[in-house]
Amino acid sequence: MTQYKFIASIHKLKIKETLSKGIHFKENLRVSNNKSKLEDYIDDYFALVIGNLEYTSLMDLPYFYSISSIEDSEIISNDKKGMDLLNYFILSTQPFSSLLWLVKDNSVNVVNGFIELKDEVNRNYHTNYRTTSFYNKEGKTGTVEFTREEINKVISLHKTLFVPFDLKTSIENEHTSKQAFNGNRFERVFHSIQAARSEPYLPSRIASFITVLETLLSTSSSEVSHKLKERLAWVLGSNYIERKEIFDNLGLIYSIRSANVHGNTMPKKGNNIEKLERLSSIIEDYTRTIVLKFLEDEKIRNLYEGVGEATDKKIEGWLNEIVLGGEGKI
């Protein structure tokens, strides 16, 4: 039996309350910001191995942790197995930042993780780093405070959305990730949201969020921009004034995307940083609102979790009914 401790700091996140033992995220993986607990988990030798700078960073930030055991006596001496276990936990933390973004804008990152493997005789350590960083809607980074209730909202969304994969099946199957291009629309949406949030250059970021909306609302390759403006306006707008504002805003945002993709000069209403920040904020708010709306409606969520031409036709029929003023029943 091999004991393990996984710990990863969470950057650019402040949690209002002290979480003590932490909030359960999945399996035995928890989120906490309790320094005294962390001091219990990391002894002097662990601190020496990871270095003073990393230890100080861990002590100053919220963190993920998992402490348990695994029935694999070879994992201490087999570096590949040790790294696989570490990477499993790092992969498990990745949805957290995406789901935090659904609660409110942020640039939260899980940058690096550490794992200690220990039996009665030996110890071994591994570390790995994520190369992807997330930025806020202005293409910048900054610490954002979340409450316990908001963190619990993230946990609830994770249980609703993500197909569970666990340590046992991960080790047995060797691979834990699915290719997003074969997934349902929600899987592709979250893949695209991660790509968009990792882009600090605002024209490219705006273009990436357009892709997210197209994944949700596009059902054919014809008149894509017009259909997207129309459908988003009807799905999110509750009256003519709101729908017209959404329609017009998305038209301007599409012109930013077109200029960026084709190398043209930015349109006058998006040719400086202040204007681009405003438009980036608008499209991210639209995206956040519609993704949450679809996730929290069980019938819509079930529809979008389907795959194939039959599902696409159902989605197209439902969206067309909404645009024509129908009730949009599924």
Of 23-27, 96-100, 201-205, where does the model show the most confidence? 201-205
At residue 319, the pLDDT reads 93
Find where tokens 């993709």 sit.
261
For residue 227, pLDDT beyond 70: yes
Find where tokens 């956040």 sit.
288
Greater pLDDT, 273 or 290? 290
pLDDT band at 207 (very low <50, low <70, confident <90, very high): very high
For residue 219, pLDDT beyond 90: no
d(CA 263, CA 257): 10
Decide: 58 and 9 in contact? Cβ < 8 Å.
yes
Q: Is 271 helix (H, G, I), strand (E, B) or coil?
A: coil
At residue 28, the pLDDT reads 87
pLDDT band at 329 (very low <50, low <70, confident <90, very high): confident
3-state DSSP helix/strand/coil % of the chain, to nearest 5: 55, 15, 30
Greater pLDDT, 122 or 162? 122
Pairing type for strands 109-118 and 123-129 reads antiparallel
Mean pLDDT of 211-236: 90
For residue 174, pLDDT beyond 50: no
- pLDDT digit string, tens, across residues 257-286: 888 777 667 777 777 889 999 999 999 999
pLDDT band at 220 (very low <50, low <70, confident <90, very high): confident
At residue 167, the pLDDT reads 56
With a CB cutoff of 8 Å and minimum separation 6, the contacts of 265 are 259, 271
For residue 175, pLDDT beyond 50: no
At residue 177, the pLDDT reads 46
State in Å, rounded, how far the first CA of the chain is from the last one: 51
At residue 179, the pLDDT reads 47
With a CB cutoff of 8 Å and minimum separation 6, the contacts of 108 are 10, 11, 12, 13, 96, 97, 100, 101, 134, 144
For residue 148, pLDDT beyond 90: yes
Mean pLDDT of 244-261: 90
For residue 291, pLDDT beyond 60: yes
At residue 262, the pLDDT reads 73
- pLDDT digit string, tens, across residues 28-85: 899 999 999 888 889 999 999 998 888 888 899 999 999 999 988 899 999 999 999 9
For residue 183, pLDDT beyond 90: no
At residue 163, the pLDDT reads 52
At residue 178, the pLDDT reads 46
At residue 186, the pLDDT reads 87
pTM of the model: 0.85
At residue 182, the pLDDT reads 57
Residue 79 tokens, joined: 């570096």
Mean pLDDT, all residues of the chain:
88
Q: Select from 64, 81, 63 the least CA-distant residue to 72.
A: 81
Decide: 147 and 16 in contact? Cβ < 8 Å.
yes
